[in-house]
Amino acid sequence: MDASPILKNVSRHIDLDTAEEQFFVSLLREKEFEKKAFVLREQEIGRDSIFVTRGCLRAYTIDHEGMEHVLQFAPPGWWIADMYSLISGKPGSLNIDAVEDATVLLLSREKQESLFARVPKFERFFRIITENSLVASRQRVLDNLSLSARERFADFCHQFPSLADCVPQKMIASYLGITPEFFSKIKSEYFRQKGPKSGP
């Protein structure tokens, strides 16, 4: 297991000595998922915080008309989870699957509690990354209320520069809350305005 990406992520907010690093890494399970494979299905209990080291995951729900609604994309270096299910221990409503072949590190809630007991500063780490996720989520609530689909797509490209090209268009449309047809229109307008991506 290559733990360096997750240790780098942790070191952004807390300092660990070698013994603490080793204990943390000993609690992680590495797992690979092929494109389209499920990491978690709705109605299952999500027991893990998931850190992506390769590929890309997405979390989404399916409404009663069968429409998918994308809550989150997680490229390398991002955490993803069904937080409701994780903290309540109840079945969740999220599906999490692999947009591309992916490698992840899993930290179960149970192991996370052992981590807090032995290395309490991880409470700080998870407090800070949860605060950051909350800021992003609230900004998305406000953007959905106040910005046009064009503005939301521009923000998406800014936030996820690597995803606009590799994630299927219909998934990005679903994340933005618009139809694939309308998405296709605003995407071509956006790139026409920005000009060609590479010069001659």
Which residues of the shown chain bind a copy of itself in the complex (CB under 8 A)?
61, 63, 67, 69, 71-72, 83-84, 87, 93, 116, 120-121, 123-124, 126-128, 130-135, 137-142, 144-147, 177
Nearer to a copy of itself (CB atom), residue 53 or residue 95: 95
Least distance CB 34 / a copy of itself (angstroms): 26
Rounded to the nearest 5 percent, the helix, strand and coil shares of the chain are 50, 25, 30
Shortest Cβ 138–a copy of itself spacing (Å): 5
Contact in structure between 153 and 167 (CB atoms under 8 Å): no
Cα separation of 102 and 86, whole Å?
21
Contacts of 12 (CB under 8 A, 6+ apart): none
Q: How far is the CB of 198 from a copy of itself (least distance, A)?
A: 33
Of 140, 146, 159, 147, nearest to 69 (Cα)? 140
**Of the two residues 35 and 124, which places its CB atom closer to a copy of itself in the complex?**
124
Q: Which is nearer to a copy of itself, 145 or 181 (CB)?
A: 145
